């Protein structure tokens, strides 16, 4: 998990550098300060399980096997990216590895994942789904419908509610009167717990329990992971509405990576040298990944319509004619 935490943080940092050079197309989203819950929850899954990440779940995608070079290509909208430049950042699938590309309307992946998990149940497959949702997203109508449906059908789904204090510029207290977001589970008749989201091992243990229960036929459950969004909504957001001392407090006293390093050293599970070796491995892998794709071409305009519709012949022909003429 230390390797994946380091990989996530370093890859996001590389992306910030590329963004500042004008090479990232569209927004750049960061999970700084909440990588712990993303990595640890995904780590609790096994082969055959499926998760649905959001913009701040790069760590969970890397754990599932997404390659840094694919993420870099997506963010730079390269022709060589998984979506050939048609979709932004983390919006892409790999069904074999087990992640589903998000659709942007917040909350909508919950009914989608409820349906996927219903199919696991109907087919008698021992597979589990994991879906992430923010504190803001947990106040949408689709969250309610999706969790209610999953709960009543007792599908093998674990809902991770990432309580990071902010939904864009709105603090949690201004968009929900619920103090503990885990309490929402009571309304659906499913188990709900609150976990320290920056305690990597606590998130891992809680998710492992919920995943095991789901796999054994125990149905849906909800885990609120309490964490903090240390950057703005995206790189273009200067987060002036977030109190500076609040950000500094979380950075100085509650960083998930720092805390995990202290645990690894304290328990004697890893030495400084072990961790330096992991950091160097990450640096070398990212050097290779950036060099591999930085100069890849952007897609041709004409490609925008191909592979989008099932049968586009007429539109495609019109489009090419316009380009030609």
Q: How many residues bind ligand TPP (CB under 6 A)?
A: 16
Footprint (CB under 5 A) of Mg ion, residues 222-261: none
How is residue 36 written in tokens?
């712990």
Q: Which of 9, 14, 56, 231 binds ligand TPP (CB under 6 A)?
A: 56
Q: How far is the CB of 233 from ligand TPP (least distance, A)?
A: 6
Nearer to ligand TPP, 77 or 133 (CB): 133
C-beta closer to ligand TPP: residue 6 or 57:
57
H-type alpha helices, 141-271: 141-153, 184-188, 200-213, 244-253, 256-266
Residue with smaller CB distance to Mg ion, 60 or 164: 164
The footprint of Mg ion on residues 78-137 (CB under 5 A) is: 134-135
d(CA 130, CA 114): 10
Q: Name 193's bridge partners.
A: 223
Contacts of Mg ion in 145-164 (CB under 5 A): 164
How many residues sit close enough to Mg ion to count as binding (CB under 5 A)? 4
Report the helix count and the strand count for the chain, using DSSP H and E.
Answer: 12, 7
Q: Which of 190, 95, 181, 94 is nearest to 133 (CA)?
A: 181
Print the binding letters for residues 212-251 with ligand TPP: x by CB under 6 A, - otherwise: -----------------x---x------------------
Q: Of 135 and 255, which has the nearer Cβ to Mg ion?
A: 135
Indicate which single residue of 48, 105, 126, 301 sits in contact with ligand TPP (rule: CB under 6 A): 105
**Separation between Cα atoms, residue 111 and residue 183, nearest integer Å:** 20
Pairing of strands 129-134, 50-52: parallel
DSSP β-ladder status, 221-226 and 166-167:
unpaired
What is the number of other CB atoms lying within 10 angstroms of the CB of residue 279? 15
**Residues interacting with ligand TPP, by CB under 6 A?**
56, 104-106, 134-137, 140, 162, 164, 166-168, 229, 233
**Residues interacting with Mg ion, by CB under 5 A?**
134-135, 164, 167
């Amino acid at each position: 998990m230390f390797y994946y935490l380091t990989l996530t943080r370093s890859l996001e940092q590389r992306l910030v550098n590329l963004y500042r050079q004008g090479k990232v197309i569209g927004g750049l989203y960061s999970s700084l300060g909440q990588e712990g819950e993303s990595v640890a929850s995904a780590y609790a899954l096994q082969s055959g399980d499926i998760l649905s990440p959001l913009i701040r779940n790069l760590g969970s995608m890397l754990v599932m096997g997404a390659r840094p070079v694919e993420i870099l290509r997506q963010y730079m909208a390269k022709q060589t990216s998984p979506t050939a430049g048609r979709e932004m950042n983390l919006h892409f699938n790999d069904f074999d590895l087990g992640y589903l590309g998000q659709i942007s309307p917040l909350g909508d992946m919950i009914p989608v994942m409820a349906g996927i998990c219903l199919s696991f149940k109907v087919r008698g497959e021992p597979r589990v789904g994991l879906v992430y949702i923010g504190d803001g997203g947990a106040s949408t109508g689709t969250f309610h419908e999706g969790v209610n449906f999953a709960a009543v059908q007792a599908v093998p789904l674990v809902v991770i509610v990432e309580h990071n204090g902010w939904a864009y510029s709105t603090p949690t207290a201004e968009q929900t009167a619920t103090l503990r977001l885990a309490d929402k589970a009571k309304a659906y008749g499913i188990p709900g717990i609150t976990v320290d989201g920056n305690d990597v091992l606590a998130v891992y243990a809680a998710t492992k329990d919920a995943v095991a229960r789901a796999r054994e036929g125990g149905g849906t459950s909800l885990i609120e992971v309490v964490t903090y969004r240390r950057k703005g909504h995206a790189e273009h957001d200067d987060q002036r509405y977030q109190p500076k001392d609040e950000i500094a407090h979380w950075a100085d006293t509650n960083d998930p990576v720092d805390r995990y390093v202290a645990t690894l050293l304290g328990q004697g599970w890893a030495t400084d040298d072990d961790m330096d070796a992991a950091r160097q491995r990450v640096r070398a892998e990212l050097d290779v990944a950036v060099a591999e794709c930085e100069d890849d071409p952007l897609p041709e305009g004409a490609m925008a319509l191909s592979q989008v519709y099932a049968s586009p012949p007429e539109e495609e022909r019109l489009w090419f004619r316009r380009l030609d003429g």
